[in-house]
Each structure stands twice: as structure tokens, then as C-alpha cells.
Amino acid sequence: MAFALLLCLFVSSDWTSWPLPCGDKSLASDLFAADDRISLVWIERKGESCGVVKVASWDGQSWSSVKQVAESCELFINWADTPKVAHNASFTLVSWPSKLGKGTYSYGVKAAIDPESGFVEPFWLHEDKSESEHGFVTLLAGSDKQIQAIWLDGRAMVNESGTMQLRTRTVSTDGLGPETLLDNETCECCSTSGTMVDGQVHVAYRNKTADHVRDNFIVSRVNGTWSKPAALETSHWTVQGCPVNGPVLAANGTLLGAAWFTSSDGENRVFATSSLNGEPVALGESPMGRLSAAFSANGLFVSWIDAKNKGQVRVVLIDGEPSKIVKQWVVSATPSDRSGGFPRLAILNGKLHMTFQDPEHARVSGAQLELQ
């Protein structure tokens, strides 16, 4: 299948266009790399409140046929809470936000499995169906049989004193595993992230205290047991509203890297580290956050949106202990407001791939970087 090559003007000559199968009015993309392919999921709008969730895979040379996962006027189409995708040797799992009620943030997470013969009937990812907020999913393929799903769950917020929670369960072609509560008080609308190292599951998210301190935390499953939540960083950022800026994790072998956004001193700042045992390095000039990360033998790649020049997609490569910037790029212009969405990174066959919102064509566009 052939796709038109968008002629994007990249600020850095190191980056070239990565042609995508996304159509007009596409947004809310996500990438997942494993088993010699990248899965791409996105939404294409149909009118104001209707849309289609689509998915395709890239083998390093060409795209598969595009599959339609769901078409509905009940989609919760949002700049920050987007569909997610993961795959293993047995199946592909796609999740997306879907309305649960008439309230602005009364929505949940629907999901569907494709055992390579087509997507089966969608199901709710969580047991709770209350008209509260459920979303900001992370999907991790930990084995050939199961995918770990993590999400923010607002079931307790139907009560005035209730808080947002972090929950998880496994998904397989045999059904859903039991839900596990990982943290009973988190930020309400900051994205989650996760990765796996030697069979261990690591999940990063923004915690919240009763005093509205919103630091980034990490929780891990080691030898089948989930740890207690622990601070990833302690900037002690106190803010009343949700900043819609979660942390990201990425791994390469036994190395675990992270990046996070904070404004604890009144100045927007992004920090990243290629080792949780090392000192982080500050990134960007006027960072808005909206992070993604991918790890290779070169080091940790981190992307973010910077407010400089009305909005730029930036990428940096960091390595070492303490972490140091090896190289950085301005990849493309993109709106610094909500329409800029979240850039996404994935590595396959010696290339770093990125999706981002293209302001000129009002759709999801792609870029790629040959790794040395």
C-alpha cells in the first residue's frame, strides 16, 4: 500500500520525513515498538464529536494495511488522553477513551484485541462504570500471552472527598486479570508511562498529596509483587490544578531512564536521566513538557514541546552518569498550545521514529533519524 509523502520542512537536516498512513484530520497518535515492528494508533475525526480509531504496523520498510478498530460518536477525543497500542507475538491490544456519561470528564477506557484475524468486540478495560474519569493508559507487552494495562481511575471521585487512583490488570486472549490498586491518590489528568527491565514492570506517574504536592512517582512489580509507590523526584511542586504533564520511562537492557516536567520554582523545567541512580540534566529553553522517551545503545532520547518561536518539537540525546547532553535537535514547528498534542518516539532497526501534530497539514506527521 502506498502513502503520500508529506513534504515537511524539518529544522534539522539530520531528520527526514517518515510517511504515515494517517489521513486528514488525524490526531492523538501513539507508538509501540517490539518484535521487529512499530504499531501506530491514531484517531481521524468525522465532524465535531465523531471519529474513527485506526491502527497500522511498520516493519522498517512499509506499512501494513490500516485496520479500523472502532468508529463512534461516543469517543472522548482529547489532545492529552489518547488511544494506546501494544503488541506481542499473540495479539495486538488497542485502548481508547470513550464516554461514560454526559459530564465533560465522564469517560472510561474501551479496548479491543486483534489476534491477527481482526479486532474482536470492544470491552471496558476497568470494572467500574461510574460516570467519572478513567484514562491516561499505559500498555506494556511483558510476554507472548499477556499485556499489562495501567490507567488512572476516578471511581472514588464520585464522592466529594474521593481521589484519583492508579490501577492495573493484565489483558490476554483468555480474558482480563484481576484489578490491582497501585496508588490511592494521584494527579487527576497527568499521563502515565511504563517499561520493563528483566521481567520487572516499572510505572511512572504524577502523585498528589492532600496538600496538592504533585511530584512524580514510580511503582514496580518485582517477582510478581507490586512495590509501594516511591518518589522519582522530589521537587515538591505544589499546584492546585492538574498540569497535564506526566513523566516518561524508557529502558535499554538493564538501564532504566526517565524524564519529567516540573514548575516547582515558578519556572517550567524538564529534567532527564539515563540512569535512575544518576544526576539528571535540565533540558530546553522554554519547555512545555509533553514528553516521550526511547532508549538505545546511543543513550536516552527524550522529546518535548518547547514554547520558543511559537512552538517547536525538540529531541535530545543524553548519556552518562551524571547525565549529559550528547546532541539535540529542533525537529519541527508545532503549536505550543493544546493543538500541538504529544509527540511520540519509538526505535526500530537503527532508526528513531517520531509522530507529532503537523500544523501546516492539520494531521499527524512523522519524522525519522538514522542512529549512528
CATH number at residue 177: 2.120.10.10
Q: What is the pLDDT of residues 202-223, one digit of tens each?
A: 999 999 999 999 999 999 999 9
Helices (H) and strands (E) in the chain, counts: 0, 30
Query: What pTM, to 2 d.p., does this model score?
Result: 0.95
| Same domain flag for 267 and 364 | yes
DSSP assignments along 271-305, one per residue: EEESSTTS--EEE-SSEEEEEEEEEETTEEEEEEE
Residue 18 belongs to a domain: no
**CA-to-CA distance for 235 and 266, rounded, in angstroms?**
11
Residue 2 belongs to a domain: no
| Same domain flag for 115 and 132 | yes
| Same domain flag for 169 and 204 | no
Parent domain of 230: 189-372
| Same domain flag for 158 and 72 | yes
pLDDT by residue for the chain (372 residues), tens only, comes to: 333 333 344 556 799 999 999 999 999 999 999 999 999 999 999 987 799 999 999 999 999 999 999 999 999 999 999 999 999 999 999 999 999 999 999 999 999 999 989 999 999 999 999 999 999 999 999 777 999 999 999 999 999 899 999 999 999 999 999 999 999 999 999 999 999 998 899 999 999 999 999 999 999 999 999 999 999 999 999 999 999 999 999 999 999 999 999 999 899 999 999 999 899 999 998 999 999 999 999 999 999 999 998 899 999 999 998 999 999 999 998 988 998 999 999 999 999 999 999 878 889 999 999 998
| Same domain flag for 243 and 177 | no
Whether cis (ω within 30° of 0) applies to the bond prior to 19 is no
245: left (phi over 0), alpha (psi -120 to 50) or beta: beta
| Same domain flag for 234 and 128 | no
| Same domain flag for 259 and 318 | yes
Name the domain count of the chain. Answer: 2
| Same domain flag for 74 and 172 | yes
Whether 356 contacts 341, CB under 8 Å: yes
Residue 15 belongs to a domain: no
| Same domain flag for 231 and 360 | yes
| Same domain flag for 177 and 196 | no
Eight-state DSSP code of residue 157: G
Residue 14 belongs to a domain: no
| Same domain flag for 141 and 227 | no
Residue 211 belongs to a domain: yes
| Same domain flag for 287 and 222 | yes
Residue 10 belongs to a domain: no
